[in-house]
Amino acid sequence: MGAEAFGNVVGALKSSKKQGQLRQQEASKLDGPSLAEQQAGAALKREQALALIREDFIQNYFVTGQGALAAYDPDCLFADPFASFNGTARFKRNVSNLGGLLTDIDLTLTDWQEGEDELRTKWRFSATLSGLPWKPLLAAAGGTTFATGRVCKHIESWDIEPARVLRQLLKPSAKVPATQAEVLMSGVYDGDITGIWYAVSSKVVAVAGPASALLAMLHLARGEGAGWLEGGMYLAFLAAVVTELGKIIGNVTGGGG
């Protein structure tokens, strides 16, 4: 699922400690058989299945993993433009990994079409991925097809290219970037080299200055001339210092005006 792909990407950026806490919390929710597994041998009436699916939507189930999925076969096939796999337990685990990092979740059903052996829905979704420092806004619209009385296929189609959804991970949700991370990722998203440089120049000052001085002392101790690496770091340091001075002057003149 898309949630699995996002969860894996974001999870790799989280600290191992926080990952362990998340896994422990979600494992406690998933211990023991699910409601769907407990009722796997029981037949569901059409009205019951539809009511259970609607209840899952109310709980934003495929964003948060909080739905009971009581209308699903435990070995249900889940598929979307990113991936496909079987099993409600895996689905809930994958979605919960991502759902724990989201805020301002909005999942709205826009269509509900009941067929003889399937249900087709359309929806739109948005949320802020607060688990990342620049808090990107995720948004998509699409549809889901549920097949047979007890759901054995959960097929998603999206109204947006998967690559564009992944690219949203780079864009800060804030209209005006405020933090260093937001400025940096806004520059990356827009391909703005100047914006990227403005975001990292203070770090370049902190790193390139001491590094170039250390290399210079090393060359002097060996009786060698300046190397290309030392020269490059020194130029980067000077450029970053000029940029930082420009920021200070801009803030002073802007505040005075």
Both 57 and 99 in one domain: the answer is yes
Q: Count Cβ atoms below 10 Å from residue 236 Cβ, excluding itself.
A: 18
The model's confidence at residue 210, banded by pLDDT at 50, 70 and 90, is: confident
Residue 165 lies in a domain: yes
Average pLDDT, the chain: 80
Q: How far apart are CA 39 and CA 102, in angstroms?
A: 31
pLDDT for position 46: 86
pLDDT for position 22: 46
SS3 category, 24 = helix
**pLDDT digit string, tens, across residues 99-132:** 888 899 999 999 999 988 889 999 998 999 888 8
Could you give the number of structural domains in the chain? 2
- DSSP for residue 39: T
Q: How far apart are CA 82 and CA 6, in angstroms?
A: 10
pLDDT for position 74: 92
Taking 90 as the threshold, does the pLDDT of residue 81 lie above it? no
Residue 96 lies in a domain: yes
Residue 85 lies in a domain: yes
Domain range holding 158?
2-170
Both 37 and 142 in one domain: the answer is yes
Q: Once rounded to an integer, what is the mean pLDDT over residues 34-60?
A: 75
Domain boundary among 139, 170, 201: 170
Q: How far apart are CA 120 and CA 117, in angstroms?
A: 10
Q: Once rounded to an integer, what is the mean pLDDT over residues 9-18?
A: 50
DSSP letter string over 88-105? HHHHHHHHHHHHTTEEEE
Both 19 and 122 in one domain: the answer is yes
Residue 181 lies in a domain: no
Q: How far is CA 193 from CA 88, 148, 176, in A?
A: 44, 52, 17
pTM of the model: 0.64
Write the CATH number for 37: 3.10.450.50
Both 144 and 17 in one domain: the answer is yes
More confident of the two residues 46 and 255 = 46
